[in-house]
Amino acid sequence: MKINHSLHFILLAIIAFSSCEEKTSEAVIEIDPFAVTTEKHVIKVDTLYTELENPWGMTWLPDGRMLVTERKGEILVFENDAFTGHKLEGVPAVHAVNQAGLLDIQIHPDYTHNGWIYIAYAKPVEGGGATAIMRAKLDGNRLVEQEDLIITTPAVEGGRHFGSRIIFDKDNYLFFSNGERGANPENAQTLKNSHGKIHRIHDDGRIPSDNPFVNEPDAIPSIWTYGNRNPQGLVYDASSDRIWGIEHGPKGGDEINLIQKGKNYGWPEITYGINYDDTIITEDTVRTGLEQPIHFWRPSIAPCGAVLVTSDKYPSWKGNLLVGALAKQHINRVQLQGTQFINEERLLQDIGRVRHVAQSPDGYIYAVTEATGLLIKLVPQG
Protein backbone atom coordinates (compact mmCIF):
# COMPACT_ATOMS: atom_id res chain seq x y z
CA MET A 1 0.00 0.00 0.00
CA LYS A 2 1.29 3.45 -0.92
CA ILE A 3 1.66 5.88 1.99
CA ASN A 4 1.32 9.43 0.73
CA HIS A 5 3.71 11.25 3.06
CA SER A 6 6.18 10.65 5.87
CA LEU A 7 5.06 11.70 9.34
CA HIS A 8 8.73 12.32 9.94
CA PHE A 9 8.36 15.53 7.94
CA ILE A 10 5.17 17.03 9.34
CA LEU A 11 6.93 19.69 11.39
CA LEU A 12 9.32 20.60 8.59
CA ALA A 13 6.49 20.71 6.13
CA ILE A 14 4.42 23.05 8.28
CA ILE A 15 7.40 25.39 8.58
CA ALA A 16 8.01 25.21 4.84
CA PHE A 17 4.36 25.88 4.11
CA SER A 18 4.16 28.89 6.37
CA SER A 19 7.30 30.40 4.86
CA CYS A 20 6.48 29.67 1.21
CA GLU A 21 2.79 30.54 0.93
CA GLU A 22 2.38 33.25 -1.68
CA LYS A 23 -0.63 35.54 -1.83
CA THR A 24 -2.05 37.64 -4.62
CA SER A 25 -4.84 40.14 -4.51
CA GLU A 26 -7.22 37.59 -5.97
CA ALA A 27 -6.18 34.17 -4.71
CA VAL A 28 -3.75 32.15 -2.60
CA ILE A 29 -1.31 29.96 -4.49
CA GLU A 30 -1.40 26.68 -2.62
CA ILE A 31 1.84 24.92 -1.69
CA ASP A 32 1.59 21.27 -0.70
CA PRO A 33 1.64 21.16 3.12
CA PHE A 34 4.32 18.47 2.99
CA ALA A 35 6.66 20.53 0.82
CA VAL A 36 10.18 21.31 1.99
CA THR A 37 12.02 24.44 0.92
CA THR A 38 15.59 24.00 -0.33
CA GLU A 39 17.95 26.61 -1.71
CA LYS A 40 16.97 25.85 -5.31
CA HIS A 41 13.64 24.01 -5.28
CA VAL A 42 10.53 23.42 -3.22
CA ILE A 43 10.20 19.64 -2.89
CA LYS A 44 7.32 17.46 -1.75
CA VAL A 45 8.57 14.39 0.10
CA ASP A 46 6.32 11.51 -0.95
CA THR A 47 6.83 8.46 1.27
CA LEU A 48 6.08 5.30 -0.69
CA TYR A 49 7.06 2.62 1.83
CA THR A 50 8.04 2.53 5.50
CA GLU A 51 9.10 -1.06 6.23
CA LEU A 52 12.60 -1.32 4.79
CA GLU A 53 15.34 -2.71 7.03
CA ASN A 54 18.76 -2.31 5.40
CA PRO A 55 18.05 -1.31 1.80
CA TRP A 56 21.00 -0.87 -0.54
CA GLY A 57 20.30 -0.60 -4.26
CA MET A 58 17.52 0.45 -6.63
CA THR A 59 16.92 -0.06 -10.33
CA TRP A 60 13.99 0.17 -12.75
CA LEU A 61 12.89 -2.30 -15.40
CA PRO A 62 11.58 -1.07 -18.78
CA ASP A 63 8.07 -2.22 -17.82
CA GLY A 64 8.07 0.32 -14.97
CA ARG A 65 8.74 -2.04 -12.08
CA MET A 66 11.31 -0.97 -9.53
CA LEU A 67 13.61 -3.40 -7.71
CA VAL A 68 15.01 -2.60 -4.25
CA THR A 69 17.63 -4.77 -2.58
CA GLU A 70 17.74 -5.57 1.14
CA ARG A 71 21.15 -6.47 2.55
CA LYS A 72 19.82 -9.62 4.24
CA GLY A 73 19.19 -11.15 0.80
CA GLU A 74 15.85 -9.94 -0.56
CA ILE A 75 14.80 -8.00 -3.67
CA LEU A 76 11.47 -6.20 -3.28
CA VAL A 77 9.29 -5.44 -6.31
CA PHE A 78 7.48 -2.09 -6.61
CA GLU A 79 5.08 -0.97 -9.31
CA ASN A 80 3.45 2.45 -9.74
CA ASP A 81 5.33 3.60 -6.61
CA ALA A 82 3.73 0.90 -4.45
CA PHE A 83 5.09 -2.34 -3.04
CA THR A 84 3.50 -5.21 -4.94
CA GLY A 85 3.88 -7.61 -2.03
CA HIS A 86 6.26 -9.68 -4.15
CA LYS A 87 9.97 -10.41 -3.74
CA LEU A 88 12.14 -11.96 -6.40
CA GLU A 89 12.72 -15.68 -6.09
CA GLY A 90 16.04 -17.36 -6.73
CA VAL A 91 18.16 -14.69 -5.05
CA PRO A 92 21.61 -16.16 -4.33
CA ALA A 93 22.65 -16.94 -0.77
CA VAL A 94 24.60 -14.07 0.78
CA HIS A 95 27.29 -13.65 3.43
CA ALA A 96 25.06 -11.39 5.56
CA VAL A 97 27.49 -10.19 8.22
CA ASN A 98 27.58 -6.58 9.42
CA GLN A 99 27.94 -4.44 6.25
CA ALA A 100 28.15 -7.45 3.94
CA GLY A 101 25.23 -9.08 2.16
CA LEU A 102 23.10 -8.31 -0.89
CA LEU A 103 24.28 -4.92 -2.14
CA ASP A 104 23.78 -3.07 -5.44
CA ILE A 105 21.58 -3.89 -8.41
CA GLN A 106 21.62 -2.49 -11.96
CA ILE A 107 20.20 -3.45 -15.33
CA HIS A 108 22.34 -3.63 -18.46
CA PRO A 109 22.18 -0.46 -20.61
CA ASP A 110 20.80 -2.65 -23.40
CA TYR A 111 18.43 -4.57 -21.13
CA THR A 112 15.53 -4.45 -23.60
CA HIS A 113 17.56 -6.64 -25.96
CA ASN A 114 19.57 -8.87 -23.62
CA GLY A 115 17.58 -8.95 -20.34
CA TRP A 116 20.62 -8.97 -18.05
CA ILE A 117 20.36 -7.80 -14.43
CA TYR A 118 23.58 -7.30 -12.45
CA ILE A 119 23.92 -7.77 -8.70
CA ALA A 120 26.80 -6.99 -6.34
CA TYR A 121 26.75 -9.22 -3.27
CA ALA A 122 28.89 -10.78 -0.57
CA LYS A 123 29.12 -14.39 -1.68
CA PRO A 124 29.61 -17.09 0.98
CA VAL A 125 32.78 -18.96 0.06
CA GLU A 126 35.42 -20.98 1.85
CA GLY A 127 37.08 -18.62 4.31
CA GLY A 128 34.07 -16.32 4.75
CA GLY A 129 32.65 -13.88 2.22
CA ALA A 130 33.80 -12.27 -1.03
CA THR A 131 32.37 -9.38 -3.02
CA ALA A 132 31.00 -10.88 -6.23
CA ILE A 133 29.29 -9.58 -9.35
CA MET A 134 26.55 -11.82 -10.70
CA ARG A 135 24.29 -11.45 -13.69
CA ALA A 136 20.91 -13.12 -14.21
CA LYS A 137 17.67 -12.81 -16.14
CA LEU A 138 14.06 -12.68 -15.01
CA ASP A 139 11.47 -15.35 -15.64
CA GLY A 140 8.40 -13.80 -14.06
CA ASN A 141 9.56 -13.00 -10.54
CA ARG A 142 12.41 -15.54 -10.54
CA LEU A 143 16.09 -14.93 -11.24
CA VAL A 144 17.33 -17.46 -13.79
CA GLU A 145 20.47 -18.06 -15.88
CA GLN A 146 22.60 -16.87 -12.97
CA GLU A 147 26.36 -16.63 -13.40
CA ASP A 148 29.06 -15.10 -11.24
CA LEU A 149 31.22 -12.89 -13.45
CA ILE A 150 33.93 -12.14 -10.91
CA ILE A 151 34.64 -13.08 -7.28
CA THR A 152 37.09 -10.93 -5.37
CA THR A 153 39.96 -12.38 -3.34
CA PRO A 154 40.88 -13.19 -0.66
CA ALA A 155 37.74 -14.10 1.29
CA VAL A 156 37.32 -12.74 4.82
CA GLU A 157 35.30 -13.93 7.81
CA GLY A 158 34.01 -10.51 8.84
CA GLY A 159 31.65 -8.08 7.20
CA ARG A 160 33.33 -4.68 7.11
CA HIS A 161 33.94 -2.57 4.03
CA PHE A 162 32.58 -4.70 1.21
CA GLY A 163 31.59 -1.72 -0.98
CA SER A 164 29.82 -2.06 -3.37
CA ARG A 165 28.31 -0.18 -6.31
CA ILE A 166 27.90 -1.04 -9.98
CA ILE A 167 27.93 1.38 -12.93
CA PHE A 168 28.20 1.05 -16.70
CA ASP A 169 29.96 3.56 -18.95
CA LYS A 170 29.14 4.58 -22.52
CA ASP A 171 30.99 1.55 -23.91
CA ASN A 172 29.14 -0.85 -21.57
CA TYR A 173 32.19 -1.56 -19.42
CA LEU A 174 31.10 -2.51 -15.91
CA PHE A 175 32.82 -0.82 -12.96
CA PHE A 176 32.33 -1.90 -9.37
CA SER A 177 33.76 -0.80 -6.04
CA ASN A 178 35.19 -3.03 -3.33
CA GLY A 179 36.23 -1.91 0.17
CA GLU A 180 39.53 -2.78 1.84
CA ARG A 181 37.86 -4.85 4.60
CA GLY A 182 38.51 -2.44 7.48
CA ALA A 183 40.95 -4.34 9.66
CA ASN A 184 43.52 -4.51 6.87
CA PRO A 185 43.88 -1.01 5.37
CA GLU A 186 47.15 -2.02 3.71
CA ASN A 187 45.04 -4.10 1.29
CA ALA A 188 44.28 -0.91 -0.59
CA GLN A 189 47.95 -0.35 -1.51
CA THR A 190 48.78 -3.73 -3.00
CA LEU A 191 47.78 -4.87 -6.48
CA LYS A 192 47.95 -8.50 -5.34
CA ASN A 193 44.45 -8.55 -3.83
CA SER A 194 41.06 -7.22 -4.87
CA HIS A 195 40.28 -5.08 -1.85
CA GLY A 196 40.33 -1.30 -1.57
CA LYS A 197 39.92 -0.99 -5.33
CA ILE A 198 37.58 -0.02 -8.14
CA HIS A 199 37.43 -2.71 -10.82
CA ARG A 200 36.56 -2.73 -14.52
CA ILE A 201 35.31 -5.72 -16.50
CA HIS A 202 33.38 -6.42 -19.67
CA ASP A 203 29.64 -6.96 -19.24
CA ASP A 204 30.20 -10.71 -19.57
CA GLY A 205 33.01 -10.81 -16.99
CA ARG A 206 35.98 -10.81 -19.35
CA ILE A 207 38.96 -8.67 -18.38
CA PRO A 208 39.54 -5.72 -20.75
CA SER A 209 42.94 -5.90 -22.41
CA ASP A 210 43.58 -2.20 -21.75
CA ASN A 211 43.06 -2.33 -17.98
CA PRO A 212 46.02 -0.55 -16.35
CA PHE A 213 47.59 -3.51 -14.54
CA VAL A 214 46.57 -6.37 -16.78
CA ASN A 215 50.17 -7.15 -17.76
CA GLU A 216 51.75 -6.57 -14.36
CA PRO A 217 52.94 -9.82 -12.69
CA ASP A 218 50.77 -10.96 -9.75
CA ALA A 219 48.38 -7.99 -10.08
CA ILE A 220 44.62 -8.58 -10.05
CA PRO A 221 43.85 -7.80 -13.70
CA SER A 222 40.40 -6.25 -13.11
CA ILE A 223 41.83 -3.36 -11.03
CA TRP A 224 41.08 0.10 -12.43
CA THR A 225 42.12 2.20 -9.39
CA TYR A 226 43.58 1.44 -5.96
CA GLY A 227 44.16 3.15 -2.63
CA ASN A 228 40.38 3.33 -2.09
CA ARG A 229 39.09 2.78 1.45
CA ASN A 230 35.41 1.86 1.19
CA PRO A 231 33.69 3.40 -1.84
CA GLN A 232 29.95 2.94 -1.38
CA GLY A 233 29.01 5.43 -4.08
CA LEU A 234 29.94 5.23 -7.77
CA VAL A 235 28.46 7.59 -10.37
CA TYR A 236 28.94 7.80 -14.13
CA ASP A 237 28.51 11.15 -15.91
CA ALA A 238 27.78 10.26 -19.53
CA SER A 239 27.97 13.89 -20.69
CA SER A 240 31.63 14.18 -19.71
CA ASP A 241 32.61 10.49 -19.59
CA ARG A 242 33.66 10.94 -15.95
CA ILE A 243 33.34 8.60 -12.98
CA TRP A 244 32.88 9.91 -9.46
CA GLY A 245 33.70 7.77 -6.43
CA ILE A 246 32.08 8.48 -3.06
CA GLU A 247 34.24 7.06 -0.31
CA HIS A 248 33.86 6.51 3.42
CA GLY A 249 36.78 7.92 5.36
CA PRO A 250 37.58 6.84 8.91
CA LYS A 251 36.71 9.47 11.57
CA GLY A 252 36.55 12.37 9.14
CA GLY A 253 38.10 12.30 5.69
CA ASP A 254 35.13 11.10 3.62
CA GLU A 255 35.93 11.86 -0.02
CA ILE A 256 34.56 12.62 -3.46
CA ASN A 257 37.10 11.42 -6.01
CA LEU A 258 37.40 11.77 -9.76
CA ILE A 259 38.11 8.16 -10.71
CA GLN A 260 40.83 7.86 -13.36
CA LYS A 261 42.58 4.87 -14.90
CA GLY A 262 45.43 3.44 -12.85
CA LYS A 263 45.48 6.17 -10.21
CA ASN A 264 46.29 5.64 -6.51
CA TYR A 265 43.86 7.42 -4.17
CA GLY A 266 46.14 7.19 -1.20
CA TRP A 267 44.45 5.20 1.55
CA PRO A 268 45.95 4.68 4.13
CA GLU A 269 49.15 6.56 3.14
CA ILE A 270 47.31 9.90 3.10
CA THR A 271 43.98 10.86 4.65
CA TYR A 272 42.12 13.82 6.12
CA GLY A 273 40.72 11.57 8.86
CA ILE A 274 41.90 9.89 12.05
CA ASN A 275 41.18 6.54 13.68
CA TYR A 276 37.90 6.06 15.53
CA ASP A 277 39.86 6.04 18.81
CA ASP A 278 41.33 9.46 17.85
CA THR A 279 44.81 8.10 17.15
CA ILE A 280 46.72 9.29 14.10
CA ILE A 281 46.67 7.16 10.95
CA THR A 282 49.26 9.24 9.10
CA GLU A 283 50.61 12.77 9.39
CA ASP A 284 50.30 13.20 5.62
CA THR A 285 47.33 14.58 3.71
CA VAL A 286 49.30 15.14 0.50
CA ARG A 287 52.01 13.05 -1.10
CA THR A 288 53.49 12.99 -4.57
CA GLY A 289 51.88 10.37 -6.81
CA LEU A 290 48.72 10.06 -4.68
CA GLU A 291 45.45 11.61 -5.81
CA GLN A 292 43.67 14.36 -3.90
CA PRO A 293 39.88 14.30 -3.45
CA ILE A 294 37.94 17.09 -5.10
CA HIS A 295 36.10 17.44 -1.78
CA PHE A 296 36.29 15.88 1.67
CA TRP A 297 34.10 15.98 4.76
CA ARG A 298 35.48 16.56 8.23
CA PRO A 299 33.68 15.64 10.44
CA SER A 300 32.38 12.62 8.58
CA ILE A 301 28.88 12.48 7.11
CA ALA A 302 29.37 8.77 6.20
CA PRO A 303 28.54 9.13 2.49
CA CYS A 304 27.02 6.27 0.58
CA GLY A 305 25.05 5.82 -2.65
CA ALA A 306 24.80 8.82 -4.95
CA VAL A 307 23.33 10.02 -8.22
CA LEU A 308 24.15 12.71 -10.76
CA VAL A 309 20.99 14.70 -11.51
CA THR A 310 20.28 14.85 -15.26
CA SER A 311 16.50 15.29 -15.10
CA ASP A 312 14.71 18.40 -16.39
CA LYS A 313 12.33 18.06 -13.46
CA TYR A 314 14.98 19.64 -11.21
CA PRO A 315 16.52 22.31 -13.48
CA SER A 316 18.49 24.00 -10.70
CA TRP A 317 19.96 20.67 -9.59
CA LYS A 318 21.09 19.46 -13.02
CA GLY A 319 24.73 18.42 -12.94
CA ASN A 320 24.71 18.18 -9.13
CA LEU A 321 25.57 15.08 -7.13
CA LEU A 322 23.02 13.96 -4.56
CA VAL A 323 24.87 11.90 -1.95
CA GLY A 324 23.25 9.83 0.78
CA ALA A 325 24.63 10.48 4.28
CA LEU A 326 24.38 7.70 6.85
CA ALA A 327 25.82 9.25 10.03
CA LYS A 328 24.47 12.75 9.42
CA GLN A 329 21.12 11.44 8.11
CA HIS A 330 20.48 13.69 5.13
CA ILE A 331 20.91 13.96 1.37
CA ASN A 332 23.93 16.08 0.49
CA ARG A 333 23.58 18.17 -2.68
CA VAL A 334 27.01 18.85 -4.16
CA GLN A 335 27.40 21.49 -6.86
CA LEU A 336 30.25 20.89 -9.30
CA GLN A 337 31.81 23.00 -12.01
CA GLY A 338 33.66 20.64 -14.28
CA THR A 339 35.91 18.72 -11.91
CA GLN A 340 35.82 21.37 -9.19
CA PHE A 341 33.73 21.41 -6.03
CA ILE A 342 31.69 24.64 -5.69
CA ASN A 343 29.41 24.22 -2.68
CA GLU A 344 26.97 21.89 -0.94
CA GLU A 345 23.57 21.89 0.74
CA ARG A 346 22.06 19.49 3.25
CA LEU A 347 18.60 18.31 2.27
CA LEU A 348 15.96 16.57 4.42
CA GLN A 349 17.95 16.60 7.63
CA ASP A 350 17.15 13.71 10.03
CA ILE A 351 15.18 11.70 7.49
CA GLY A 352 17.23 8.64 8.48
CA ARG A 353 20.44 6.93 7.38
CA VAL A 354 20.30 7.53 3.63
CA ARG A 355 21.81 4.49 1.97
CA HIS A 356 21.19 5.33 -1.68
CA VAL A 357 19.81 8.02 -3.98
CA ALA A 358 18.75 7.21 -7.56
CA GLN A 359 16.99 8.79 -10.53
CA SER A 360 14.16 6.90 -12.23
CA PRO A 361 13.86 6.63 -16.02
CA ASP A 362 11.05 9.23 -15.92
CA GLY A 363 13.33 11.68 -14.11
CA TYR A 364 12.26 11.58 -10.45
CA ILE A 365 14.67 11.29 -7.53
CA TYR A 366 14.18 8.42 -5.07
CA ALA A 367 16.04 7.57 -1.86
CA VAL A 368 16.06 4.71 0.65
CA THR A 369 16.92 4.95 4.33
CA GLU A 370 17.93 2.71 7.19
CA ALA A 371 16.59 3.09 10.76
CA THR A 372 13.52 4.96 9.51
CA GLY A 373 13.07 2.33 6.76
CA LEU A 374 11.78 4.68 4.08
CA LEU A 375 11.47 4.65 0.33
CA ILE A 376 10.83 8.27 -0.67
CA LYS A 377 10.27 10.18 -3.88
CA LEU A 378 11.18 13.85 -4.23
CA VAL A 379 8.51 15.66 -6.24
CA PRO A 380 9.34 19.23 -7.35
CA GLN A 381 6.61 21.79 -6.74
CA GLY A 382 6.09 24.35 -9.50
Q: SS3 string of the chain? A: CCCCCCHHHHHHHHHHHHHHCEECCCCEECCCCCEEECCCCEEEEEEEECCCCCEEEEEECCCCCEEEEECCCEEEEEECCEEEEEECECCCCCCCCCCCCEEEEEECCCHHHHCCEEEEEEEEECCEEEEEEEEEEEECCEEEEEEEEEECCCCECCCCCCCCCEEECCCCCEEEEECCCCCCHHHHHCCCCCCCEEEEECCCCCCCCCCCCCCCCCCCCCEEEECCCEEEEEEEECCCCEEEEEEECCECCEEEEEECCCCECCCCCCCCCECCCCCCCCCCCCCCCCCCCCEEECCCCCEEEEEECCCCCCHHHCCCEEEEECCCCEEEEEEEECCEEEEEEEECCCCCEEEEEEECCCCCEEEEEECCCCEEEEEECC
Q: Which one from 95, 161, 195, 199 is the annotated catalytic residue?
A: 161
> Contact, 114 vs 146, CB < 8 A?
no
218 torsion bin: left (phi>0), alpha (psi -120 to 50), beta (else): left
281 contact partners, CB below 8 Å, separation of at least 6: 185, 250, 268, 271, 273, 274, 275
Is 295 marked active-site? no
336 contact partners, CB below 8 Å, separation of at least 6: 294, 319, 320, 321, 342
Active site residues: 161
